[in-house]
Structure 1
């Protein structure tokens, strides 16, 4: 079976700095794959390269077995959508939710906007009463739900999730993660999730790639991670850090 997404020997340079250095992984259709590492490890840059927001210096990215064109086509964005980390920055402050959701439909010439907007808002747990609110009238969790609804509008097959809950209060994070997992099952979506939190990745993903300083350190299953079947010292240190502070 062809992978939904494959990244082969991806390298990304910013001037003389290798932000991503020879990284490879593949994601089968309908599965959830995690990229995890500390800040600056290159994991978000990989997502940005997939959607064409960061220039690749080497390697290739395949969607359904076919190399991606540069720049990305409209058809690509109907197939792949991205949810960004900051729900405060990803929504236009002077646009209502309705206008935010209508914009991608207009860009892609999709006519059944009313049905899609209503369905997307319903799926993320926001009723029609939210359509004409502005971002400042929403909580952080509600803004991220709008961002997720916007990503769903074009009915993509692949969602790229860049730290989708890290800017939210702890009490809201679990709600959004559970929503994303429910949507993946219902829509049979493929996820690539970036996080610095191993607990989040273990909960959401079947497989994950640990990154450090732009390089792939270790690929393992979430089951192996939960069982502490870890092959590298860096992953063990990351695991220890994610368990939190313990008083001696």
Structure 2
């Protein structure tokens, strides 16, 4: 479903992503993990069409991506951002936030779709006409997830979707994403600095350091401690220290 080959990303004179390649099968959830500044979120934003300064090849569903994306791409591929408050328009109600993608893509039956979207992310009907500031952080991220899914995409890009939430809410949102992924047969790329989050949702993951992928391994290999690269081993050791 997703093919990335020899991707390089530049911000002016800064070379922030260096010659990375990976693929994601249809229905798979693939993780990108690394420390802050490793380039993982840059990769996700470049796939989404938010970073124009790149070289290499990117393809979704067999179609090569160029610097500009058409409307069909944005119906197929949607993104959930790290900060649910910053990604939602503060002066729009939840109803308006969810109706807008339907209008953009010319999708009818907005009333039923909005009601279903709220139900899918376990938000009460009373949330529909509230503004983002009237919701909790977890509720706002549920709205962001509902907005991403309301036009029925097949690919979901998740940029640290739980890191801005309270620890007590993080597991709820991760379990929701897991259920939605299975129910909708979504292909996902999940970016996180947290190996526990990656292991919870991803079948495979790539470890990034300094803009490069240093290792790709399966979730089973991660749990068994069979990482080969020293940086991956350091991340695993750090995650155990934090848990302890």
TM bucket, shorter chain: over 0.9
1:164 maps to what in 2? 161
1:202 maps to what in 2? 199
1:30 maps to what in 2? 27
Equivalence map 1:63-78=2 (5 Å): 63-78=60-75
Q: Per-residue displacement from partner, 1:96-154 (whole Å, max 9, x unpaired)?
A: 00011111111111112112111111000012211100111100000000000000111
Give, in angstroms, the shift of residue 214 of structure 1: 0.4
Q: For this pair of structures, how many residues does the alignment match?
A: 244
Distance 1:51 1:244 in 2: 34
Structure 2: 5+ residue runs without aligned partners?
none
Change (3 A) 1:246 1:61: closer
Change (3 A) 1:245 1:103: closer
CA contact (8 A) 2:11 2:53 kept: no
Equivalence map 1:167-246=2 (5 Å): 167-245=164-242
Q: TM-score, normalised by structure 1?
A: 0.96
SS in 2 for 1:39: coil
Equivalence map 1:41-60=2 (5 Å): 41-60=38-57
Q: Which runs of 4+ in 1 moved over 3 A?
A: none
2:15 maps to what in 1? 18
Q: Per-residue displacement from partner, 1:64-100 (whole Å, max 9, x unpaired)?
A: 1220133111000110000000011011111100011
CA contact (8 A) 2:5 2:21 kept: yes
TM-align CA RMSD: 1.1
Structure 1: 5+ residue runs without aligned partners?
none
CA contact (8 A) 1:230 1:236 kept: yes
2:82 maps to what in 1? 85
Distance 2:199 2:119 in 1: 27
CA contact (8 A) 1:10 1:56 kept: no
2:96 maps to what in 1? 99
Equivalence map 1:88-167=2 (5 Å): 88-167=85-164
SS in 1 for 2:241: coil
Distance 1:71 1:147 in 2: 24
Q: Which moved more, 1:98-107 or 1:160-169?
A: 98-107
Distance 1:163 1:15 in 2: 25
Give, in angstroms, the shift of residue 246 of structure 1: 8.1
SS in 2 for 1:219: strand
Q: TM-score, normalised by structure 2?
A: 0.98
